[in-house]
Structure 1
Amino acid sequence: MKPEVLRIEKEINADPIKIFRAWLNAEDFALWFLSGEGIEIESVIMDPRPGGKFIINMELDGKILPHEGEYITIDEPNKLVFTWRSHATDNKDTLVTITFEEIKDIISKSGKVGKQKTLVTLVHEELTSEIQVKMHNHGWTNILEGLDQWINSGK
């Protein structure tokens, strides 16, 4: 079966450095990394360096669902690449690449400059079925929405 690729984009009103760093601070990460209703973060352990590992223990209905991987690339504030393995990937490694692209301010005719924005693009590769794509599309979409809400709540 041909590996599937999922791509999700989200504009967030914040600078790329702030958004990038939210992915690598375990304490902050646990506050916004929520993939759907009823899912909580039980614990997060991170070693944010190339070759470092992470484990995110999500909790659903009293059951712990570990999500783990290894950082491959940490290029602040441009790109983050890591492996991703969980029950939803049949416990096989997949690959996630996240890029953070500053959206340049557009100045209106009145001279007003809009808020700083970043285009966050998440690409999840090596998924093996359409159901994996659908599950991860739902999860990553909620996660990026949670990141946006957390970043813009003044935290």
Structure 2
Amino acid sequence: MDRKILKVEKRISADPTKLFRAWLNAKDFSLWFLSGEGIGIESVTMDPRPGGRFLINMELDGKILPHSGEYITIDEPHKLVFTWRSHATENRDTLVTVTFEEEKDSKHETKKSSKQKTTTLVTLIHEDLSSDLQIKMHNHGWTSILDSLSHWMESILE
């Protein structure tokens, strides 16, 4: 079977450590991990350590859609690797790698100082997807999730 790979990137105005930690704190995670219109989070449980597991129960039209996996690599604040299993992967394990690369924006200047603003390039690579439909569904979901992370981060940093 031909395995497919999806890559989604988003520049977010926050430092890598804050963004990285947002992925491993169940309370914060449930506030921003929104994969699309009408989809909510019913519950999140996490054991954020290599070999630890997570369960994200998304809710859509009154139905609970479980998403689960196991943490493989937790390299704060650079890289997070975990398996991902859901109805959208046909309940098969796939692999997700999220990297956080700090970028300095020297163009952001205030009248009093030339303070640099930190942005982070968040890159998400989802491997072992089995069809173009899975790529399309996950592209939409992961893009919405990274957009939600960006908006949530803006709201807490104001």
TM-score of the two chains, using structure 2 as the length reference? 0.94
* Deviation (angstroms), 1:154: 1.7
Question: What does residue 125 of structure 1 align with?
Answer: 127
Question: What does residue 137 of structure 1 align with?
Answer: 139
Query: Contact 1:107–1:113 (CA<8 Å) still a contact in 2?
Result: no
Residue 20 of structure 1 pairs with residue 43 of structure 2: no
Q: Determine the C-alpha separation between the residues in 2 that align with 1:59 and 1:108.
A: 40
Superposition map of 1:19-58 within 5 A: 19-58=19-58
Query: Contact 2:104–2:117 (CA<8 Å) still a contact in 1?
Result: no
The AA in structure 1 aligned to 2:136 is K
Question: What does residue 97 of structure 2 align with?
Answer: 97
RMSD: 1.5
Distance 1:107 1:149, change over 3 A: closer
Q: Determine the C-alpha separation between the residues in 2 that align with 1:54 and 1:89.
A: 16
* Deviation (angstroms), 1:108: 7.1
SS class of match (2:125): strand
* Deviation (angstroms), 1:107: 5.0
Structure 1: which 4+ aligned runs deviate by more than 6 Å? 108-111
Mind listing any 5+ residue stretches in structure 1 that lack a counterpart? Answer: none
Q: Determine the C-alpha separation between the residues in 2 that align with 1:65 and 1:26.
A: 17
Q: Determine the C-alpha separation between the residues in 1 that align with 2:5 and 2:98.
A: 13
The AA in structure 1 aligned to 2:131 is S
The AA in structure 2 aligned to 1:45 is T
The AA in structure 2 aligned to 1:138 is H
SS class of match (2:127): strand
Q: Determine the C-alpha separation between the residues in 2 that align with 1:116 and 1:58.
A: 31
* Identical aligned residues as a percent: 69
Q: Determine the C-alpha separation between the residues in 2 that align with 1:118 and 1:33.
A: 18
The AA in structure 2 aligned to 1:25 is N
Query: Contact 1:105–1:113 (CA<8 Å) still a contact in 2?
Result: no
Question: What does residue 147 of structure 1 align with?
Answer: 149
SS class of match (2:48): coil
The count of residues paired between Structure 1 and Structure 2 equals 155
SS class of match (1:154): helix
Mind listing any 5+ residue stretches in structure 2 that lack a counterpart? Answer: none
Query: Contact 2:57–2:64 (CA<8 Å) still a contact in 1?
Result: yes
Question: What does residue 88 of structure 1 align with?
Answer: 88
